Amino acid sequence: MKILVSISTEQYFGDQIKKIDPSIELVAIHPDNKDEPSWNQVQDCDVFFLTYEFMFAAALDDSLTDPLINLCQQMQFIQIGYAGTDSPLIQSILKTNAKVTNASGVHAIPIANYVLAQMLRWTKRIDKHIELQAEKSWEAWGGDGELTYKHILILGYGGIGQEVGRLAKNFGMHVSATKRSPHDCKYADVIKHPDKTFELLPNADFVVSCLPADHETDNIINKKSLSLMKETAMLINVGRGNAVNEEDLIEALNSNTIACAALDTTKIEPLPNDSELWTANNCFISSHDSAHSLHAILRLNELFCSNLIDFIDKKPLKNLI
């Protein structure tokens, strides 16, 4: 059995993967197709461990998209390194004859850590203290001081949303959430269907979007929803960029309709240099990297190895799309 992997996957996890079955042969290629063996030399592979490096390279270089899809055409099983399946690349991969699994659950912990970090950054006025230190100014600027008793509204209560809820409860916060189906809703004090979102917004100190990209979530954060939020509220988006009407958010931030925002994802990525989000009042931008974590990489490899064993044994695969 030939398994296609990145150079780094072979380097760090190759021995672990090959121990699964003596017939396994790893074919390692560079994610940007610049080194030998080139992608068009790859033949007769059965499995593709499609890790982050390939996805990042294709996102930055459109010329890699078609060759990457061509690689996927020959596969029987593909493990994707992402949870989201809305990108055109993933949609094309799903049209192949391969069994395709995603990485749902792998990144919940680092993304939830990011959410809490952003809430603490704002609540403890970390940015202001950095400014004061640069000015060598000894000035007390405590803000609200703590998250305890604050109200967090989590839009989209899947694996990531529930991990955010778990951490929020550990800080003594009140947790409300929206979810299409009410089952498996640990840590939430209040759970509502997404069509009740407008009812929940006025009480929220923090609104966290963990929403997937589909027609129902397009621009759900818009002028109306932003106007329902507290003037002191913070918006955090770790879901998909389609959920936020960026023009409405820029207006809301610059007019102090809401206090601040932290965006790890935007409609267009990379975010264009001329986007007004870069300079909007109290808008923190990160480059869709909240999921990055050494432990997440380890969890992804564990998921792949588990699925590889099941694939060899002809058992159902985890996270099959």
Measured CA to CA, the distance from residue 33 to residue 240 in angstroms comes to 28
Given a cut of 80, whether residue 144 has pLDDT beyond it is no
Measured CA to CA, the distance from residue 78 to residue 87 in angstroms comes to 16
Please check whether residues 141 and 20 belong to one and the same domain.
no
Q: What is the pLDDT of residue 276?
A: 98
Please check whether residues 216 and 239 belong to one and the same domain.
yes
Is residue 191, in this structure, part of any structural domain at all? yes
Q: What is the pLDDT of residue 39?
A: 86
- Among the residue ranges 40-49, 122-131, 138-147, the one predicted with the least confidence is 138-147
Q: What is the pLDDT of residue 40?
A: 81
Could you tell me which of 212, 288, 223 has the C-alpha nearest to residue 249?
223
Please check whether residues 176 and 281 belong to one and the same domain.
yes
Measured CA to CA, the distance from residue 320 to residue 93 in angstroms comes to 13
Measured CA to CA, the distance from residue 92 to residue 30 in angstroms comes to 21
Measured CA to CA, the distance from residue 315 to residue 261 in angstroms comes to 44
Hey, how many other C-beta atoms are within 10 angstroms of the C-beta on 270?
Answer: 11
Domain that holds residue 242: 108-285
Q: What is the pLDDT of residue 62?
A: 87
Is residue 277, in this structure, part of any structural domain at all? yes
Reported confidence tier of residue 295, pLDDT bands at 50, 70, 90: very high
Is residue 317, in this structure, part of any structural domain at all? no
Higher-pLDDT residue of 115 and 144 is 115
Is residue 133, in this structure, part of any structural domain at all? yes
The order of strands in the sheet holding 47-50 is 25-29, 2-6, 47-50, 77-80, 99-101
Q: What is the pLDDT of residue 302?
A: 98
| Residue-wise pLDDT tens digits, 68-94 | 999 999 999 999 998 888 888 999 999
Measured CA to CA, the distance from residue 77 to residue 309 in angstroms comes to 12
CA 194 to chain centre: 20
Is residue 195, in this structure, part of any structural domain at all? yes
Q: What is the pLDDT of residue 219?
A: 98
CATH number of the domain enclosing 71: 3.40.50.720
Please check whether residues 99 and 112 belong to one and the same domain.
no
Please check whether residues 81 and 183 belong to one and the same domain.
no
Q: What is the pLDDT of residue 288?
A: 93
Please check whether residues 306 and 180 belong to one and the same domain.
no
Could you tell me which of 122, 128, 179 has the C-alpha nearest to residue 154?
179
Please check whether residues 225 and 305 belong to one and the same domain.
no
Reported confidence tier of residue 56, pLDDT bands at 50, 70, 90: confident
- Among the residue ranges 12-21, 69-78, 133-142, 275-284, the one predicted with the least confidence is 133-142
Please check whether residues 65 and 203 belong to one and the same domain.
no
Reported confidence tier of residue 271, pLDDT bands at 50, 70, 90: very high
Q: What is the pLDDT of residue 35?
A: 73
Measured CA to CA, the distance from residue 107 to residue 247 in angstroms comes to 29
Please check whether residues 101 and 114 belong to one and the same domain.
no
Q: What is the pLDDT of residue 141?
A: 82
Q: What is the pLDDT of residue 79?
A: 98
Q: Which residue has the tokens 């809401």?
A: 258
Query: Does a cis peptide bond (omega within 30 degrees of 0) precede residue 270?
Result: yes
Please check whether residues 130 and 278 belong to one and the same domain.
yes
Reported confidence tier of residue 60, pLDDT bands at 50, 70, 90: confident
Please check whether residues 71 and 136 belong to one and the same domain.
no
Q: What is the pLDDT of residue 1?
A: 96
Please check whether residues 65 and 40 belong to one and the same domain.
yes
Reported confidence tier of residue 320, pLDDT bands at 50, 70, 90: very high
| Residue-wise pLDDT tens digits, 83-138 | 888 888 999 999 999 999 999 999 999 999 999 999 999 999 999 999 999 999 99
DSSP string computed for 85-124: --SHHHHHHHTSSSEEE--TTTSHHHHHHHHHHHHHHHHT
Is residue 22, in this structure, part of any structural domain at all? yes
In this structure, are residues 92 and 69 in contact, taking their beta carbons and an 8 Å threshold? yes
Measured CA to CA, the distance from residue 159 to residue 165 in angstroms comes to 10
Is residue 101, in this structure, part of any structural domain at all? yes
Is residue 189, in this structure, part of any structural domain at all? yes
75: tokens are 């596969």
Number of domains in the chain: 2
Higher-pLDDT residue of 282 and 35 is 282
Q: What is the pLDDT of residue 237?
A: 99
Given a cut of 80, whether residue 142 has pLDDT beyond it is no
Measured CA to CA, the distance from residue 77 to residue 46 in angstroms comes to 7
Beta bridge partners, 25, equal 2
Mean pLDDT comparison of 138-147, 211-220, 255-264, highest-scoring range = 255-264
Per-residue pLDDT, averaged over 205-223, amounts to 96
Mean pLDDT of the chain: 95
Distances (CA, A) of 186 to 13, 52, 93, 163, 189: 34, 30, 33, 9, 9
